[in-house]
Amino acid sequence: MQTQKIAVLSKILLVGIQVNIWSARKKLEPKDLGLDPTKIPPAELASLGTLRSINPEDIQAFEKLRRKAKRTVEKMGLRFMGVVAIPEEKAALANAELEKIEKEFNDLRADFLNRYDKAVLDWMNRAWPTPALKEAIVRAIVPKAIVAERIAFRFSLCRVMPDKTPELSKQLDREVQGLHGQLFQEIADTSEELLVKSFSGKDKVGQKAVNCIRRIHEKLLSLAFLDPTVLALADHVQAKLAQFPTRGDVEGAKLQELVSLLTNLSDETKIAKLIQLFDSAQSGVQVDQSLVEEDAVAPADIAASVQEEVGAESYVDFVASTLDLDTVAVVPGIVAHSIGQGLVESVESAVNLPEVADTQVDAEEFCL
């Protein structure tokens, strides 16, 4: 098991992304609202909320770039120990893409700081309902130098090797052993999201939808070293992809086949069933191909059929969430290699992220 674990870890790199975004918020005080402090609920019971010290639209672009960075690495790998594990063959590409996003972020930061004073004045001089609110905004103004310190983009790529002491590396053992299961879970979430968002109610789909399955196959193939079952599933998806046109719309019987494939990939239990059938075939047991093909749900019925199964946080939703680098700092192992800035420079937690409008991407766009 130790040899197998080292073999897997030698083929992956961990990607940590740390994005700090100024919240532009200040805790509201009773005087900000013209309230008598003696007549408000105690702090342990309720709070007055926060006050925006600048237009939230001025900082939303930073959040979009944060999501873009997370989405970029999630496409290439899978969640592992609080960060993202990617195949070593994707390391140079991940580094190059993140450097582009870092430059875009820093350019945006410089532009924002250049117009910060004007943005503050514009926000302060709006027609607020009461003079007290304007005074509260004035009190909430943060010096530009402090704001500059609270906006930053960093990322690191590194390798991790297990400690030679079994007691220290047993948790890492469990994480490595569960990587292929994590991959199947993410594939299932992506497939389910695609079914609901891109196939429901349609009698044909474009090549964007097929491209998503091609990306799923590419991801499986690049992570096939995790477990033989990953390669088996990749081969199955590739065989099915060969049956679909590479140009134009997919409709009719081919659309039903596409839905059938995605339905099989949209649930971990169904994936396990497929793999079990693959194992039976390899051992010489005759397999009824009808068992491999999941009965396709008509596109018009897809939304209703999966409504109860869709969780609060799907894979596409997850790529917008924060990657916690603190967990990487305690991985029992040795940082053997890094690209870009050192991991130790990226372990500060991002705090006070601003509220922004939902920028969740369409599943087809996610798979381009």
Residue range 109-148, pLDDT digits in tens? 999 999 999 999 999 999 988 888 888 889 889 999 999 9
The answer on 145 and 229 residing in a single domain is no
Q: Is residue 171 part of a domain?
A: no
User: How confident is the model at residue 343, as a pLDDT?
Assistant: 33
**pLDDT, greater one: 265 or 81:** 265
3-state helix, strand, coil in the chain (%, to 5): 60, 10, 30
The answer on 270 and 185 residing in a single domain is yes
User: How confident is the model at residue 154, as a pLDDT?
Assistant: 97
Q: Is residue 323 part of a domain?
A: yes
The answer on 309 and 323 residing in a single domain is no
The answer on 150 and 47 residing in a single domain is yes
For residue 126, how many other CB atoms are within 10 A of its CB?
10
Bridge partners, 20 (sequence order): 152
Percentage of residues of the chain with pLDDT beyond 90: 35
Report, as an integer, the average pLDDT of 80-108: 95
The answer on 313 and 197 residing in a single domain is yes
**Is pTM, for the whole model, over 0.85?**
no
Residue 329 pLDDT exceeds 70: no
Q: Which amino acid is at 190?
A: T
Residue with tokens 């494939």: 261
Q: Is residue 258 part of a domain?
A: yes
Calpha distance 202→330 (Å, rounded): 48
Angle between helices 166-177 and 179-194 (to 10 degrees): 30
What are the residue ranges of helices labelled H in 22-143?
A: 60-76, 91-114, 116-124, 131-140
Residue 66 pLDDT exceeds 90: yes
Q: For residue 201, give its domain range.
A: 178-317
Residue 108 pLDDT exceeds 80: yes
Domain count, the chain: 2
Residue 163 pLDDT exceeds 80: no
Q: How confident is the model at residue 296 (pLDDT cuts 50, 70, 90)?
A: low
